[in-house]
Amino acid sequence: VVTGDPKESERGNATYLKPLKEKTSKAERRALQEAQRAAKAAAKET
């Protein structure tokens, strides 16, 4: 849910990133980073 509230998206990211504590392959981690970078870029645009 993107409400435009920065705290809201931060909370979402925290839960989204939690699985990183479990073992993830390099490809998976890279994909996560790409998605995060894209999300950050999108947030900057608005």
pLDDT digits (tens, 9 = 90+) for 1-43: 556 665 555 555 555 555 555 677 889 889 999 999 999 999 9
Domain ranges of the chain: 6-45
pTM of the model: 0.44
Residue with tokens 């390099």: 26
pLDDT at 13: 54
Q: How far is CA 9 from the centre of its chain?
A: 9
Question: For residues 17, 29, 22 and 41, what is the CA-based torsion angle, rounded to 10 degrees?
Answer: 0
Cβ distance 21 to 9 under 8 Å? no
pLDDT at 6: 58
Q: What is the DSSP letter of 20?
A: G
- With a CB cutoff of 8 Å and minimum separation 6, the contacts of 12 are 1
pLDDT at 45: 85
